[in-house]
Structure 1
Amino acid sequence: MWMKPALFLGLLALGLLSSLSALAADRVVLASLEWPPYTGESLPGNGATSEVVREAFRVMGYELEIRFYPWNRALNEARLDKDIAGYFPEYPEHWHKDAFLNSDSVGSSSLGLASRQEMVINWQTLDDLRRYTLGVVAGYANTPEFDAMAKEGRLTIDHSSTDALNLRKVLAGRVRAAVVDTNVFRHLLQVDPVLRKQRGELVMSTRLLGTNSLVVCFSDTERGRRLGRILNLGLRQVDQEAVYLRHFKE
């Protein structure tokens, strides 16, 4: 059957638009930060946690795009940019309930104190840490108890922009210890040029501050709630332990 060129082109354009809309509907955009080995733009699979989230969406038929920003900007972009469905990784105790909903767990983070070998802090309770200056990353949550004491001024806190800078301050004697995730600590001793040279001088305390679950926070919208349900279903089909073991051995 013969069709007028204008009508044919119109139908073709409509078909292309429908295809593009379908593709867009199956693409999820999340904000994240540079936090290797968990997340990072240049890491294999964008990091262990990124791979868990990406694989969970993949098995549900969705493609994940991750946009990397400094942490505080990642939070703002997730709030303001309607293309971004949420952000990760977050601790469930610190998600912003006014604007986001959290997913099921996509991993965990164990926090401890890194210090010089000869200056390890022997502590039993957080009150034992009050006499020391402790380094933390500005904008990062730690544990609820630690952050509450810091906010009340019951702990002496020194802020840095990155974990690497905190550990350098430990080496320089500017802080007694730094709060850091145990896997981040090991990763930085391998890849940071300054820390690698002096890695024998740094050690993690055997006592942990705590272990936090990691979650994805979705915008509290109809779309965000739907994507959260989809991710949670996908997570049931992902062997998270295997993903993390593979990344942490790399």
Structure 2
Amino acid sequence: MSYKIILILLFACPTWAQKSDPASGKVIHLLTMEAPPYMSTTLPEQGAAVYALRQIFKKNGFELKVTFTPYLRAKILALKKDSISGFFPAAEENITAGYVLSKIMYVTPWGFAERKDHPIQWNNPEDLLPYKIGNVMGYELSRVLAPAHKKKKFQIENVSSDELNLLKLANKRVDLAFIDATMLEYLIKSSPQLRPYQNQLQINAKIIRMDEYGVAFKKTGKGKEHLNVFNKIMNKEEFHRLVELYFKTHLQN
């Protein structure tokens, strides 16, 4: 599964015609998390999504400032800091009080990673009861298991990162690992720890859902102002071109 196939970009608004001087101090400060290849402090330009957003903001006279922090902390920290306008990526399901979701940026498939020598067939959440499932803290695994998880006790082991989750899977400490399919493909090719297992891991045949992501802007102050800016300047074709350019430049094998 290629990055181009997985990344479905849904920007539909025309580019904002109003341009301004980037040196005018118009800074949009957002929080994000480690989620390569889209966002990462270890990648060139801080990842594909950050690169694309920054280029579009710059073209329209704004500077994008990005701070990395654990995902659960981002929701709280952004509300406390007047200089921060919001956090990304955000989906409708994880928007909390005080935020509003922007236009959708992209859609990505989620599923379970599994070992090729131990593929798992399942149709209903109850079919997963016999298996240990790895989950990164902050991911919405409960949506996959609901409403069954309210009645059944699933074997869920929370970890701090996708890389650690996949290592546990490769070493047979869990049977499945909940993950973004794009991230699975990226990590097994790029992580020195996971590269030895790249021919042993795969995405489960059942794609669970397609998640739609945007930016969660605060409802007050700069957040409200920057939400309007964001929704006006985003252009589907331009964002798509920039992300594909990033993948071609930085992530080709």
Specify if TM > 0.5.
yes
Deviation at 1:153, TM superposition (A): 4.6
- 1:29 is paired with a residue whose SS is strand
1:207: which partner in 2? 206
Task: Give the CA RMSD over aligned residues.
Answer: 2.1
Note the 1:72-221 alignment, pairs <5 A.
Answer: 72-96=72-96, 98-142=97-141, 144-146=143-145, 149-150=148-149, 153-221=152-220
Give the distance between the partners of 2:74 and 2:247, measured in 1 at CA.
24
Deviation at 1:60, TM superposition (A): 2.8
- Please say if residues 38 and 47 of structure 1, whose CA atoms lie closer than 8 Å, have aligned partners that are also in contact: yes
Give the distance between the partners of 2:246 and 2:179, measured in 1 at CA.
19
- 2:117 is paired with a residue whose SS is helix
Question: Structure 1 unaligned runs (5+)?
Answer: 1-21
More helix by share: 1
Give the distance between the partners of 2:180 and 2:152, measured in 1 at CA.
23
Give the distance between the partners of 1:29 and 1:149, measured in 2 at CA.
39
Alpha carbons of structure 1 residues 204 and 121: separation in structure 2 relative to 1, 3 Å: same
The 4+ residue runs of structure 1 with deviation greater than 6 A are none
Deviation at 1:243, TM superposition (A): 2.8
Give the distance between the partners of 2:65 and 2:43, measured in 1 at CA.
15
Give the distance between the partners of 1:59 and 1:151, measured in 2 at CA.
48
Of 77-86 and 157-166, the range deviating more from structure 2: 77-86
**Matched AA of 2:217:** F
Deviation at 1:92, TM superposition (A): 1.9
Give the distance between the partners of 2:54 and 2:147, measured in 1 at CA.
33
- Please say if residues 56 and 239 of structure 2, whose CA atoms lie closer than 8 Å, have aligned partners that are also in contact: no
**Matched AA of 1:72:** L
Deviation at 1:106, TM superposition (A): 1.5
- Please say if residues 83 and 222 of structure 2, whose CA atoms lie closer than 8 Å, have aligned partners that are also in contact: no
- 2:109 is paired with a residue whose SS is strand
Deviation at 1:77, TM superposition (A): 1.8
1:16: which partner in 2? none
Alpha carbons of structure 1 residues 67 and 205: separation in structure 2 relative to 1, 3 Å: same
Alpha carbons of structure 1 residues 45 and 116: separation in structure 2 relative to 1, 3 Å: same
Deviation at 1:142, TM superposition (A): 4.2
Alpha carbons of structure 1 residues 218 and 130: separation in structure 2 relative to 1, 3 Å: same
Give the distance between the partners of 1:129 and 1:36, measured in 2 at CA.
27
1:61: which partner in 2? 61
Give the distance between the partners of 1:74 and 1:212, measured in 2 at CA.
19
**Matched AA of 1:80:** K
2:52: which partner in 1? 52
TM normalised by structure 2 equals: 0.82
Of 66-75 and 177-186, the range deviating more from structure 2: 66-75
Of 234-243 and 44-53, the range deviating more from structure 2: 234-243
2:11: which partner in 1? none
